[in-house]
Chains A and B, each alone.
Chain A
Amino acid sequence: MKKKLLLYFIACLMLLNFRAIGQTTATLQGSVASSDGMELPGVLISLRDTEIRTITDEAGEFSLNAPDGEYTLSASYIGMEPFSISVTIPGDDPIRIILKQSDYELSQVDVVSTGYQELPKERATGSFAFLDSQLVQRKVSPTILDRLEDVTSGLIFNRGSNASNDPLSIRGRSTIYANTSPLIIVDNFPYDGPLENINPNDVASVTVLKDAAAASIWGARAGNGVIVITTTRGKSDQPMQVSFNSNVTVTEPRDLYYVPQMSIPDFISIEQGLFENNFYRNLENNSNKPKLPPVVETSIALRDGLLSQAQADEQLRLYRQSDIRKDIEENYLRPAINQQYAVSLTGGNAGHTYNISLGYDQLGSDVRGNDGNRWTLAIGDEWKTLRDKLEIGLRVNLANQNSHTRTELAKGYAYDRLMDSNGNPLPVANLYSTRYISSVEGEGLLDWRYIPLNEIGKQDYTSRSYDFRVSPSIQYALTPDLKIGLFYQYWKNMGTTRNRAPLDLFYTRDLINKYTQVQEDGNFSYPIPKGDILSTAQSESFSHTFRPQLTYVKELNSKHYINAIAGMEIRDLQGLSWSDRYYGYQDDMGISIPVDLVNRYPYYHNPGQQVTVLSNSGHGGNTDRFLSYYTNWGYDYSHRYFFNFSARKDQANIFGVDANQRGVPLWSVGGAWIISEENFMKSPSMPFLKLRATFGYSGNVDKSLSSAVTAQYVNFQFYDALPHLTGATILNPPNPDLRWEKVRTTNLALDMETQNGMFSGTVEYYSKYSRDLLGEYSVPSSTGRTSFKGNFAETQVRGVDISLSAKIFRDSFKWTASLLYSGLKEKVLDFEKEPTVNDLLSSALSSSPYPKVGRPLFGVYSYAWAGLDPDTGDPMGILDGEPSTDYLGISRAATSDNLQYHGPGRPTNFGAFRNDFSYKGFSLSVNVSYRFGYYVKRRSIDYYTLLRGAIGHGDYDLRWKNPGDEQVTQIPSQPLTADSRRNAFYTNSATLIEKGDHIRLNDIRLAYTLSQYTTAWLPVKSAQIYAYAGNLGIIWKASGQRLDPDYQYAKPLRSISFGLKLDF
């Protein structure tokens, strides 16, 4: 039923398109061809100063009706030079028009979008990075955001351990603790949903707003830059165009061997040594019955006489040969396969344009049994009527994303065996010691063993999200110059996760077992009943955005051109979430059993712990409200001088703040001068030269703070004494001076293009100064807090963005080279809290910054390194100018100022170099990216955790063993005992800091395109087959270490895609 309705709806939208064109008095006929004699369909034919227009049919022919008279007829077609001719109606002969190929092939005017306005890039004063559809569609991936990587000037994807909180930065980071993500605009409205719900195949262009003039129209949320995504729309005067795109991507499975690990026999001897030294004695006796490594269990059994020496030796021999990574690789992993299908219809005539697109993605996983998919549907319609005075638009987007997890990777010790030599699944220790598990065997509990291979495909975890957006708009021209528009968007997202853990899983059996109670008569009672455990979580969010706006466009004497908008915006975003859990659930009958969530029960395995049954119920809700007023004025004199002013005031529901502090007014000004339009500069060798400058403010806010004391109600933990009471904790001490953060940006830029577009490029210099940033300072603990947040930090980013493009060959063999370069310098100007030594030492791996005045937000610091002690292989630092192994002394003497500072922890010079070649139907695009000027911290052997029983890094094999080794290795000897100070010194020493500089071959795209113009037999207008290979690897790196500096923990996975694109 739903499907039928949908089809009906689509059909209606398409019918609306067939609108009759007005009445006529005479007919003019003609045809259009290219200079090589090919008929050109789809050429726009119009009579100047009238609204009469048409397009050529498949044979390149046209006819139009017009009242009698003299006209100028013009013909335009993308990639061809515009052509015009005088005609008289009625005329005699059909007109034959020949269009010449344009020098600026496909140099369609780039129209950048701010989300409020669209303007030709030529007229812009601000800093925009523009990605056309070709660049957006270059990469094969299921999501839009990663397609911006290494093709967008000034934008970087942060990688490594410090990147988890801000995966993406535009021109550095302009805040410390507030929101770090750029504002994402989709089709003119802030996008509230998950970006995974946007099908990149629907994206027509992306504009990144980098400076204040570009972004200040978004005001208080624009401090981190703005990414404006515009989806495909129908064009007027375009016959219905159908495109189809499909591809399949194969990504290699994760590499479990990527981070080197010490050899298993070595590790086993360490465990044996620890056992000899009684290290495991506490754990063996621990009332929680914790699991112990198999080697230790074997040693215990041998000690207690439960195994003979020969049996124990045989077990150890097996362990030495085992590796859980091998078993996981064989049983769990596979290449991940993604498939993508997208169909779109676009078209339009003078009064109506439309687009419909449908996408389906099958999202694979490298773990057997896990997969996902996504459906998207986008419908857009725009109507113009009442002599184009009234414009009505409607866009509807639907997305549905599903993922299904059936398998979790096995957990175990490094040499645990998941199967025996005959391939039979084996149990491995999980949570409890194998001694304990076998001791309770036969007591009538559920099987308490964990047999990983038996659980493959047994989990039933689904997550679904439904996303719906509808945005109607209406614009009416009150006068020829003044338009009033009402824009509205409603967004709704529903997410649900459902995790059914059946009795097949250790997780479920374990919960039931450990809550099992022995009654006085010896029988069991089950506070958690036997059956599946079903956990659910739901979320529901919606937003309303309403924007009334006036637009004024006026051209005077064809010299003065004014373009102004003013409006207000109301936004209300609300979310609710709740979760629950059901025990004793039976999926086939849909029934669960109520449980006692109030009383505390002792655990079966450890009666010393009394806990309630986990209810897993939770509730959350949030409301984000904004009320904004904005205006933007552009003035253009004689297409040479441009001036721009914009202002915006935002108010938000910051909690507990006085009304007058809720808002922030932000503004910007900009100017541009097209020098090449001046008579004195007119030169054929430099047809375009433009100078731009802007200045202004944008903002940011952290809504988690408040000017009043805030508290939060909390439920107590299931192990607390009175779980049913409700408590509250204090979140924030009061901060009466809370303000918005402000980012002041200055941007200077030069755009140029040489003759015939041979070289073109943009050079921009910017300076971003952020003040009133939320910063933190340490307060003595006697205040009840350890630190306090307030608006008193300042940071600065200065940098250049350069993008250059050269058309090296332009004939039948074409070669275009594009270079992106960004260089930036970040500096903390003011921050009251001096970071501690430990803060700075951890900053290379920390995702929250530890600002130090005069240094970048993310810096890399270490203890100075003086090599290894030649006699003992101990790592040596420097104390009082001398090599020393007094680690406590070194840490006492260390201050935040005398630590060794290596440099920034994030790239300061980066960009990409892309080469596009084409010959006949073939095209090849190769993108190489580079990152320089930063440091990373490498991991190495951690003797402290090794000597407390955790397997160590592969550097262990290369350690100092005998005097003289210090000549060839910098890896310390193994200490006798777990020495935390020695270990902390080594893991924080300069020897583990590496330069991050590298050049990487990002990807290669190869395509072959056939078109009807060149291949008459082709049944479709054009067809392209393409292949794309991603994450191809490092070409050069400064560090001699094996690992990729940007990927210290997991390997970047290579992928290859093949696809087909058809245009009908």
Chain B
Amino acid sequence: MKINYISILWMTALICFSSCQEYLDEKPEKSILVPSSAGDVQALLDYYPNLNQNSLLTFIISDDWETTEENWDGLSPWEQNAYLWKTEIFEPNTLSTDYIRIHNQIFTANVCLEVLDKLAVNEDISNLRGEALALRSRSIFELSLLFLPHPFSPDADDIRIPVRLKPEINSEPEILGIHETLEIVEHDLLEAFSLLSEKGAYRTRPDRISVQALLSRLYLYQQRWGDAKESGKYVIGSEYKLMDFHEMDSSSSYPFELFNSEMLLYGITSSFSVTASSATYINSDLYSRYGEKDLRRSLFFTLDRDSLPLFKGSYLGDYNLFTGISLSEVYLTLAESSIRNGELKEGLTYLNALGGHRYLDFEEWDVATSDEALGLVLNERRKELVFKGTRWMDMKRLRNLGDFDYPVREIRDEVFTLQAGNQFTLQLPALEIELESL
């Protein structure tokens, strides 16, 4: 009798045991998953509020803007330091949110690439791989603009930074100089181009057109004029068209609409605390360059009560800054690289194409020398791309090309200038160097 009971119990236990592993396979939270399918990777890459975000730091160190002493007082210490181009920007014992985010973007792309490697290749998978490579290249390029010298600057070989191309946390980072970094960026963008479809379903997803736009930006930075032209031409041959600023309503508080016909790839600045402040004014010298007939003067800016210019021309259609890549940038890149490549006429064509959409009663530019033409192009570039996140790159490369006026900022009667070479290459936060044991 007793034996029977016990054997029944044993049986029950055994049955239970064999099925218990399944019983314990249930995931503890509905919303979590181990990314393993194409859909999961698409969702990870579609997290555009993170992946398509650009650094506030890039904006702060650019000379497009200036602010008041009272507003500067309210900035956080690293923002104050960056505004004054101090050599040591990050406070002791602190991390940089921008630096963390760029690496997190790279990490996310790395995770996606690893998941995709395990999936059978088809068109969707290739396209996703292209997206991941393009997003990663964009982030690595941004990293190099901040923390590595320009490839042609005298200290180009002196500085190296850690970059990881695998998602494992314990993996050793690659310690890269500027040349290797840009090689990776170019290689990945070219591979992405071969994998991607011509046009993405959403402007937040990279496609062939935006990858070529990124390539033209990269080549311009590397002073590879011919390559920059070739990539640029691919872009302007696409279905994207310049907006005609004559048709824009300058009385509107934000004249441009989101996903307008010039937006090639969505990008947003990480924080609006500084960029959307009512004390973030356009550099007064720059503002004075917009002539009466320049439609951008009233489409990009509004004057506050004290007649100081504030920016309202974001391609996102609101107070967030658009820092992706735009068709107008590609036109300017084409114009500049053509002229620097000795093709003056061709360069002017691109410039005039843009000008026709930007000026009232536009008269086409026609100059004889490439120096004059370059002057025109750089002036237009500065005015067109104001508050679009490209100025820091331009400052770095123009300093190297000798076409640069060193800017000055003043706080409490103390003058700060951006002059020395090391101010153009930011130091990693001290804490990061300690953690990397570099």
Residues of A whose CB lies within 8 Å of any CB of B are 277-279, 281-283, 285-287, 478-479, 482, 484, 548, 550, 568, 570, 572, 600, 602, 606-610, 619-625, 627, 651-656, 659, 662, 703-704, 706, 708-714, 716-717, 720-722, 725-731, 733-734, 778-786, 788, 836-838, 891-892, 894, 948, 977-978, 980-981
A287-B278, A662-B24, A785-B107 as given contacts; A278 in contact with B33, CB under 8 Å = no
Q: Counting CB contacts under 8 A, is B415 at the interface?
A: no
Sampled A-B contacts (29; CB under 8 Å): A282-B277, A287-B319, A478-B1, A482-B2, A550-B6, A607-B253, A608-B318, A622-B28, A623-B26, A651-B24, A653-B24, A655-B27, A711-B34, A711-B35, A711-B44, A713-B43, A720-B49, A721-B316, A725-B48, A725-B202, A727-B49, A728-B44, A780-B435, A780-B436, A782-B173, A783-B164, A783-B169, A784-B167, A836-B93
Contact string against A for B residues 135-170, beta-carbon threshold 8 Å, 1 for contact and 0 otherwise:
000000000000000000000000001111001110
What is the CA–CA distance of A781 and B94 in the complex, to the nearest angstrom?
12
A727 and B43 form a contact (CB under 8 A): yes
B111:A709 contact, CB within 8 angstroms: yes
B68 within 8 A of A: yes
Residue in B279, B305, B436 whose beta carbon sits within 8 Å of that of A782 in the complex = B436
Is B242's CB within 8 Å of the partner chain A? no
Report the Cα distance A706→B277, complex, angstroms: 42
A778 touches B435 (CB 8 A): yes
Asked if B122 is at the interface of the complex by the 8 Å CB criterion, the answer is: no
A277 CA / B95 CA spacing, docked (Å): 32
Residues of B within 8 A of A281 (CB): 68, 70, 278-279
Identify the 7 closest CB pairs spanning chains A and B, nearest first: A784-B107, A621-B30, A727-B47, A728-B43, A608-B319, A780-B435, A285-B278
Residues of A within 8 A of B252 (CB): 607
Q: Which B residues are in CB contact (< 8 Å) with A779?
A: 169, 435
Which of B27, B73, B107, B266 makes the CB contact (< 8 A) with A653? B27
CA A254 to CA B48, docked complex, whole Å? 46
Contact of B317 with A by CB under 8 A: yes
Nearest-CB residue, chain B, relative to A279: B70
List residues of chain A with CB within 8 A of the CB of B279: 281-282
- When distances are taken between beta carbons in the complex, the residues of chain B under 8 Å from A609 are 318-319
- Binary A-proximity of B1-19 (CB < 8 A = 1, otherwise 0): 1100110010011001000
Closest chain A residue to B164 by CB distance? A782
Q: Would B21 and A781 count as touching, CB distance under 8 A?
A: no
- Which of B6, B24, B27, B49 sits near A716, CB closer than 8 Å? B49
Q: Total A-B residue pairs with C-beta atoms closer than 8 Å?
A: 234
Binary CB contact string for chain B from 25 to 40 against chain A (1 if under 8 A, 0 otherwise): 1111111111100001
Given the known interface contacts A281-B70, A285-B305, A733-B169, the answer about A727 and B44 at a Cβ–Cβ threshold of 8 Å is: yes
**Contact pick for B44, options A619, A652, A653, A730, CB 8 Å:** A730
Query: Taking CB as reference atom, which chain A residue is nearest B115?
Result: A709
Residues of B within 8 A of A786 (CB): 95, 100
Name the one of B32, B92, B266 contacting A721, with C-beta atoms under 8 angstroms.
B266
Among A285, A478, A625, A892, contact of B26 (Cβ-Cβ < 8 Å): A625
Complex CA gap A422/B365 in Å reads 73
Q: Are B77 and A620 in contact (CB under 8 A)?
A: no
Q: In the bound complex, what is the Cα–Cα distance between A659 and B305 (angstroms)?
A: 68
A-facing residues in B230-278 (Cβ within 8 Å): 252-254, 258-259, 266, 268, 276-278
Contact call B319/A479, Cβ cutoff below 8 A: no
Q: Out of A600, A710, A784, which one reaches B108, CB within 8 Å?
A: A784
Partner pick for A478 among B5, B73, B74, B304, CB 8 A cutoff:
B5
Residue-by-residue, is B348-361 near A (CB-CB < 8 Å gives 1, otherwise 0)? 00000000000000
CB pair B95–A282 under 8 Å, yes or no, is no
B432 within 8 A of A: yes
Given the contacts A722-B204, A838-B94, A625 and B46 also touching, CB distance less than 8 Å: no
Q: How large is the interface on B (under 10, 10 to 19, 20 to 34, 35 or more residues)?
A: 35 or more
> What residues of chain B lie closer than 8 Å to A892, measured between beta carbons?
92
Bound complex: CA of A720 vs CA of B111, how far in Å?
A: 24
CB–CB A548/B12 < 8 A:
yes
Q: Select B106's contact among A283, A651, A784, A977, beta carbons within 8 Å.
A: A784
Given A608-B319, A722-B48, A733-B169, residue A653 in contact with residue B16 (CB < 8 A): no
Which residue of chain A is the closest to B46 with respect to CB atoms? Answer: A727
B71 within 8 A of A: yes
Interchain CB contact (< 8 A) of A783 among B9, B96, B103, B304 = B103
B110 at the interface (CB under 8 A from A): yes
Closest A residue by C-beta to B75: A980
Closest Cβ–Cβ distance, residue B411 to chain A (whole Å): 12
Report the separation of the CA atoms of residues A622 and B30 in the bound assembly, to the nearest whole angstrom.
Answer: 6
Contact A781 B103 (CB under 8 A): yes
Complex Cα–Cα for A281 and B68 (A)? 10
What is the 8 Å Cβ interface bit string for chain B, positions 52-83, against chain A (1 contact, 0 not)?
Answer: 00000000000000001011011001000000
The distance from the CB of B82 to the nearest CB of chain A, in whole angstroms, is 16
Residue of B with least CB distance to A546: B16
A784: B residues at CB distance < 8 A: 103-104, 106-108, 110, 164, 167, 169
How many angstroms from the CA of A711 to the CA of B149 in the assembled complex?
35
Pairwise interchain contact A711-B93, C-beta atoms closer than 8 A: no
Residue of B nearest to A735 (CB): B169
Known: A568-B13, A838-B94. A785 touches B104 (CB 8 A): yes
CB-CB nearest in chain B for A726: B43
A782 lies within 8 A of B163 (CB): yes
Instruction: For the complex, give the distance between the alpha carbons of A572 and B22 in Å.
Output: 13
A488 to chain B, nearest CB (A): 14
| Closest CB in chain B relative to A417 CB, distance in Å | 29
Q: A281-B70, A652-B24, A728-B44 are in contact. Are A711 and B33 (CB under 8 A)?
A: yes
Q: Out of B107, B259, B435, name the residue touching A730 (CB < 8 Å).
A: B107
Which chain B residues lie closer than 8 Å to A713 at the CB level?
31, 33, 43
Asked if A728 and B40 make an inter-chain contact with CB atoms under 8 angstroms apart, the answer reads: yes
Q: In the complex the two chains form, is A781's CB within 8 Å of B29's CB?
A: no
- Chain A residues near B31: list those with CB within 8 A: 620-621, 712-714
Q: How far is the CA of A711 from the CA of B111 in the complex (A)?
A: 10
Q: Select from chain B the residue with minimum beta-carbon distance to A550.
A: B9
Minimum CB distance partner of A711 in chain B: B35
- Minimal beta-carbon separation of A720 from chain B (angstroms): 6
Shortest Cβ distance from residue B401 to the other chain A in the assembled complex, whole angstroms: 31
Give the complex CA separation of A783 and B6 in angstroms: 55
**Contact A725 B46, beta carbon cutoff 8 Å:** yes
**Complex: chain A residue closest to B34, CB-CB:** A708
Residues of B near A623 (CB, < 8 A) are 26-28
Q: Of B27, B305, B317, which contacts A610 at CB under 8 A?
A: B317
Interchain CB contact under 8 A, B312 and A608:
yes
| Chain A residue contacts of B283, Cβ below 8 A | none
Q: A282-B277, A570-B16 are in contact. Are A838 and B254 (CB under 8 A)?
A: no
A434 to B6, CA, bound (A): 80
Q: Residues of A contacting B108 with CB < 8 Å? A: 729-730, 784
Which residues on B sit within 8 Å (CB–CB) of A656?
34
A548 engages B9 (CB within 8 Å)? yes
When the two chains form their complex, are residues A653 and B167 in contact, meaning their CB atoms are under 8 A apart? no
A607-B254 CB under 8 A given contacts A277-B70, A708-B34, A784-B106: yes
CA distance A580 to B276 in the complex (A): 32
For A610, A708, A894, which residue has the most chain B Cβ atoms within 10 angstroms?
A610
A324 → B minimal CB distance (Å)? 26
* Residue numbers in A under 8 Å from B316 (CB-CB): 721
What's the nearest-Cβ distance from chain A to residue B198, in Å?
A: 20
Assembly CA distance A704 to B27 (angstroms):
10
Give the shortest distance, in Å, between B276 (CB) and chain A (any CB). 8
Contacts of B48 in A (CB 8 A): 720-722, 725, 727
A837 touches B5 (CB 8 A): no
Inter-chain CA distance A716–B432, complex, in Å, is: 31
18 additional A-B residue pairs with CB within 8 Å, beyond A727-B48, A729-B50, A782-B161: A282-B279, A286-B278, A570-B23, A602-B318, A606-B319, A608-B276, A621-B30, A651-B20, A651-B24, A653-B25, A711-B32, A711-B34, A711-B44, A717-B49, A779-B435, A786-B95, A891-B93, A978-B73
- Alpha-carbon distance A659/B23, docked complex (angstroms): 11
Cβ–Cβ < 8 Å partners of B304 in chain A? 285
